[in-house]
Amino acid sequence: MSQKPSLKSLSLIAVMMILFGSTALYSHAQDANLSLTVEYDIGFDCPVSATLAPDQTVIWVLMDSCSGRNFRLRGFQVADGTPVNDETNDFADVLTPLKDGFVDWYVNPLAFTPDGDLSIRYYAMETYDSLTLLVSLENGEATLKTNDSLNALFRQFTEYPETTVYNHDHTLGAVIGETSLHLIDLQTETELMAIEVEDFNIFPSFSADGTRLYAAKLDDFDDVENYASTLDVYSLPDGELLTSFPVPSPFLYPNPDGQYAALQVGDTELSLLNLETGISSPAVRFSEDPKPLTECLNTGNDISDLNYQSSGNLPLAGVAWLPDNSGFMTLHSYQGEGAGGGTPCLFNYSRLRLYQFAGE
């Protein structure tokens, strides 16, 4: 039987990975349906997180070798999935500091700053302090910031600064304390507002324009099978509570105009949430069924007599909304699934997908 972990001891991404498995869904009247429009094979590395370029034409994906090492940045055209760079210019040489830390995709670790640099927020494995690697995609240079004063501010509110969730240009941070959520201006390093919570039971996210804070709370934090939640929506920067309504899951990713959010339900499904009505669409499954394998996908070697099969698990590793709000792109990691011994035999590959929706 699955167990719900304490947020006092785990980062938000760990909580997400363990909270999976719920099949509870709200029975709402539908106002839109999700459909998988196109899928791209993005190879045998594992996506860690992603963000759209400032002009919204390229999605930049932080990838590793499925082991938390050998990081690289790959760009793909939003229009057709065409790669914009390869291993000859994947920024691997300036991303080496990341190997000594952990990048948690749930906290929105990738963003383009107002100055145009790609900001990668991660935390040190030993101290859990927040670190920032600023990468210039123009000249390939990177600057590491240790955020000493900012970490001191975070620790005024929490023992777990690694759970801080960031907005879409890394100018705001939501720090999760034991009994409160604190909104921090990351540029001036000042607290803007605080929201009371209980037992770390809050899952924050920001609107793309930074004018809304979405704070979801599990309705029954002690029930390991129940992920029904209540979503509170606050205006920023004044902190006014605009609305509150039930949602089937606390894991949501709002679109640019604030009308919809992609909603992760359990560990295998996505739904579409109308943020104005509270209505959620029927869920669609993003993992696949297990299937028998006849060859290694990376080498083509025949394995038909070994009875191997893929698990079909393709956990979510990122969500990026299209600028016209017509849908969103998702990243799915195959997690390096395969058999070892000599040359590895890989059973699957990572995906970049486009989901779009239409009315009834």
**Tens of pLDDT, residues 297-315:** 999 999 999 999 999 999 9
Q: What is the dihedral of CA 329, 358, 208, 48, to 10 degrees?
A: -20
Q: What stretches of 152-255 adopt beta strand conformation (E)?
A: 165-166, 172-176, 180-185, 190-196, 203-206, 212-218, 229-235, 241-247, 252-254
C-alpha span between 125 and 67 (Å, rounded):
15
C-alpha span between 324 and 306 (Å, rounded):
47
DSSP 52-99: E-TTSSEEEEEEESSSS-S-EEEEEETTT--BS--GGGS-GGG-GGGG
User: Is a pLDDT exceeding 60 seen at residue 5?
Assistant: no
Instruction: Read off the tokens for 63.
Output: 């990838």
C-alpha span between 303 and 281 (Å, rounded):
41
Q: For 198-229, b where at least 16 C-beta lie within 10 A, e where not — what string?
A: eebbbbbbbbbeeebbbbbbbeebeebeebbb
- CB half-sphere exposure, 336, CA atoms < 13 A: 12
Beta-bridge partners for 52: 59
**Tens of pLDDT, residues 45-70:** 999 999 999 999 999 999 999 988 99
C-alpha span between 353 and 330 (Å, rounded):
5
Q: What's the confidence (pLDDT) of residue 31?
A: 58
**Tens of pLDDT, residues 177-209:** 988 999 999 999 999 999 888 778 899 999 988
**Tens of pLDDT, residues 250-296:** 999 999 888 899 999 888 999 999 988 888 899 999 999 999 999 99
